[in-house]
Amino acid sequence: MSEFGYRDDRLFAEGVALADVARAVGTPCYVYSSAAILARYQAFAAAFAGRPHRVCYAVKANGNLAVLNLLAGAGAGFDIVSAGELERVLAAGGRADRCVFAGVGKRADEIDRALRAGVRCFNVESAAELERIESIAAELGVRAPIAIRVNPDVDANTHPYIATGLRENKFGVPIESAPALYARAAASGHLDVRGVACHIGSQLTGLEPFRDAFGRVAALVAALRAGGIGIEHVDVGGGVGVRYKDESPPAIGAYAEVVRNAFADETLEIVVEPGRALVAEAGVLLTRVEYLKDGAERGFAIVDAAMNDLLRPALYDAWHDIVPLQRRHAGTRGRWDVVGPVCESGDFIGRERELVLVPGDVLAVCTAGAYGFAMSSSYNARPRPPEVMIRGESWHVVRPRERLEALYAGESVLPQI
């Protein structure tokens, strides 16, 4: 995307040479462009302009406080899936009354916290959850705002681990059972029916599954309204894909058109929960080549980032472009498996990549702003990498590299006997 590009063979993000960041904070390191994030947010906001709407950023994609604060400042709400994400939003200056609380397994303490904080809506995923929310709201003497997340049973054509809208998935309530549940909720003194929610999967690259799902949800909304149940908003979930390799995901405007057409009634507010589409292309992971090694079958470029820093290749066999911070014109182009130091053969960042490399080179793993740091761990006792945010010509460490002592802080040995 345009915020990242080469100038005289050096890779820049906005006005900053990424090699300068790598030199100052070391590698591995995540770098985000604030301009890229804001541009994507504005694209969503513009696409729904003139229609009541709220863009609720899916915190799970990248929950760094700087990211949340930037989006809160631009007017975003948030899609949260845990009390931890709620605390992040509040710590970043976001508003609880702009949070929708999703997730199949909300614990009682999380529901209690979210009700006290005054979240905008619970996206309820089962009859049992509805009952739990009702009883906690009754204890607190309040009415809990709810939407029911329906499962429209459509094939999202995405990786099976991130498809959620099929009957076989654990998410939501079968759409045909929703009316009975709504009737039950509408009759409760401690539940306040606000909307209908759905989310059919992530990294969708075609519009057809959205069109299918939204058609079914629109029919449900119409039936509920006709039955006197006051539906104020429809939450269409996230899922708009990005280009990692050669995909051609829909433009945000085209996606919004599908939503607007499906829900033509202008009195219905649209809530949309993009995660990846806002932040994936706004981030890179910088990593240094430690060793080049000739294997029997192929060459290995052993880098200092690993599956603990970026899990997507190991978990989903996901592709991320890998490019040098400094383009080289001389040297031999090799075919490298770019791998990390973790003791697993699944620990790779990219396979069979054509690159001109020498040890010490720093590489950028692209499109890593979503589900990158957020899914990182300290496996192999590797401290999690720092995160840096760029704003124009300046850059800021928005999370330092984890200290080694932090890896075992809070642990203890058994008492002496």
Cβ-based nearer residue to ligand LLP, 249 or 324: 249
Q: Which two tokens stand for residue 281?
A: 């292309």
Cβ-based nearer residue to ligand LLP, 188 or 202: 202
The distance of closest approach from Cβ of residue 89 to ligand LLP in the complex, given in angstroms and rounded to an integer, is: 14
DSSP 8-state secondary structure symbol assigned to residue 237? -
Residue 407 CA to residue 410 CA, distance in Å, equals 9
Cβ-based nearer residue to ligand LLP, 239 or 283: 239
The distance of closest approach from Cβ of residue 57 to ligand LLP in the complex, given in angstroms and rounded to an integer, is: 9
Paired residues of 123 in beta bridges: 147
The distance of closest approach from Cβ of residue 124 to ligand LLP in the complex, given in angstroms and rounded to an integer, is: 12
Cβ-based nearer residue to ligand LLP, 199 or 353: 199
Q: Which two tokens stand for residue 238?
A: 């996230």
Residue 405 CA to residue 278 CA, distance in Å, equals 34
Cβ-based nearer residue to ligand LLP, 255 or 336: 255
The distance of closest approach from Cβ of residue 189 to ligand LLP in the complex, given in angstroms and rounded to an integer, is: 28
Contacts of 136 (CB under 8 A, 6+ apart): 108, 111, 112, 115, 144
The H or E element spanning position 331 is none
- Residue number, nearest CB to ligand LLP: 238
Cis before 313 (ω within 30): no
Number of helices and strands in the chain (H, E): 11, 21
Whether 198 is catalytic is: no
- Catalytic choice (56, 99, 343, 366): 343
By C-alpha distance, which of 374, 283, 393 is closest to 33?
283
Phi, psi dihedral angles at 170 (to 5 degrees):
-80, -5
The distance of closest approach from Cβ of residue 20 to ligand LLP in the complex, given in angstroms and rounded to an integer, is: 29
Pairing, β 283-294 against β 299-303: antiparallel
List interacting residues with ligand LLP (CB under 6 A). 58, 61, 79, 102, 162, 199, 202-203, 237-240, 273-277, 312, 371, 375
Specify the 3-state DSSP secondary structure of 33.
Answer: strand
Tokens 């049973």 — which residue? 153
The distance of closest approach from Cβ of residue 38 to ligand LLP in the complex, given in angstroms and rounded to an integer, is: 17
Cβ-based nearer residue to ligand LLP, 14 or 110: 110
Cβ-based nearer residue to ligand LLP, 240 or 306: 240
Contacts of 68 (CB under 8 A, 6+ apart): 57, 59, 78, 88, 89, 92, 93, 94
By C-alpha distance, which of 206, 219, 213 is closest to 254?
206
Residues in the chain: 417
DSSP 344-366: STT-EEEEEEEEE--TT-EEEE-
The distance of closest approach from Cβ of residue 165 to ligand LLP in the complex, given in angstroms and rounded to an integer, is: 10
Task: Return the active site residues.
Answer: 343
